[in-house]
Amino acid sequence: MKKLRWGVLGVSKHFFMRMSIPWNNSDYATLQAIGSRSKQRAQQCARQLKIPAYYGSYQEVIDDEHVDAIYIPLPNHLHKEWIIKSANAGKHILCEKPLCLSSIDCEEVRDVCAEKGVLLMEAFMYRFHPQWQHSKQLIKTGELGALHTIATHFFYNNQDPSNIRNNLNMGGGGLYDIGCYAVSLSSFLLNRQPVKVCSLMQRHTKFHVDVMASALMDFGDVQSSFTVSTCVFPSQGVQIFGEQGHIRLSLPFNAPPDVPMEVIVTTETGVRTVSCGPCDQYLEEIDSFSKAALGLAPIPIPIKDAIDNQVIVDALFTSEKIAGWISLS
């Protein structure tokens, strides 16, 4: 079977820890090249992961005629630039979230990719895990009754001044990094956008990035709330409440590939724990996108989802500035 040949821009910790193994296990994708600003680092990574080609620049990866698709795990502020450069070279693109730092930029890269005839997808890996597929199915079949509330929290503690997540000019901060998950999952479960949103943020006195962000998203008949933080002991969870029951996911985003995840469902008939997986959500993401690029399946997450998600994130930052609600209708 023909495999999609991938090039990776940057030797990021995220790629090395979470993405390199799935590529080796894929039936539809293979790692062809990796590039770094340090050719030595690219060489070390290529040797360790048995990647055929390595380069001392990102552009050389894009220019490699043996590369069909580009994976972008670069700092947030570099996403737009390298999406456009990849598209201009005729490469399909899987880019880490957030796709860009504004919805206007998301629309621009969408148009460039459409013009060049390449696929572009934002890498929201959580959607590929069966715990989310099962939860959405429970909502669809009406087991929870009419849905009313979704509550999400996502915390970690990173106060390293040299870390890109604490650099405002590089698109750092909690909302861009982890708040985007809470925004995304609400639209994913409800199949629509909120009509209005509001936010409250706490910013670091030196870094000026948001280290605590809370938001309320009004979907009309459903309210979705979240709090995310980059300065709190690590924890994450999602609860979904309906008239006839509720669902709790205790590890909704960082599900390890070798352990089943538990979806706890409570209804009037009692409490049950549904075991989902184990599943490597990153492998599922890579395979699903690669199949689309090979013409074997539709793209699993359309670019419209990325734009819609960023419209909400933009509105939450605007809400912070005016200390009030922002209408999206």
Q: Tell me the pTM.
A: 0.96
Do both 56 and 149 map to the same domain? no
Q: By percentage, how much of the chain surpasses pLDDT 90?
A: 93
Do both 211 and 189 map to the same domain? yes
Do both 76 and 167 map to the same domain? no
pLDDT digits 0-9 by tens, 211-263: 999 999 999 999 999 999 999 999 999 999 999 999 999 999 999 999 999 99
The DSSP-derived string for 220-254 is SS-EEEEEEESEEEEEEEEEEEESSEEEEESSSS-
Q: Domain holding 173: CATH number?
A: 3.30.360.10
Do both 34 and 137 map to the same domain? no
**In this structure, is the dihedral angle defined by the CA atoms of residues 187, 191, 193 and 198, taken in order, positive or negative?**
negative
pLDDT digits 0-9 by tens, 72-102: 999 999 999 999 999 999 999 999 999 999 9
Domain finish residue from 125, 145, 164: 125
Do both 84 and 181 map to the same domain? no
Distances 85 to 71, 105, 310 between C-alpha atoms, Å: 12, 14, 21
Do both 210 and 237 map to the same domain? yes
In which band, very low, low, confident or very high, does the pLDDT at 16 lie, cut at 50, 70 and 90? confident
Domain count across the chain: 2
Spatial contact of 226 and 215, defined as CB atoms under 8 Å apart = yes
Tell me: pLDDT of 14 over 90. no
Do both 218 and 243 map to the same domain? yes
The answer for residues whose C-beta is within 8 angstroms of residue 192's C-beta and 6 or more apart is 219
Do both 169 and 318 map to the same domain? yes
Range in 7-11, 23-27, 278-282 with the lowest mean pLDDT: 23-27
Domain finish residue from 105, 125, 145: 125
Q: Tell me what pLDDT residue 169 has.
A: 96
Do both 166 and 315 map to the same domain? yes
Do both 79 and 228 map to the same domain? no
Tell me: pLDDT of 13 over 90. no
The residue segments making up the domain with residue 261 are: 130-283+310-327
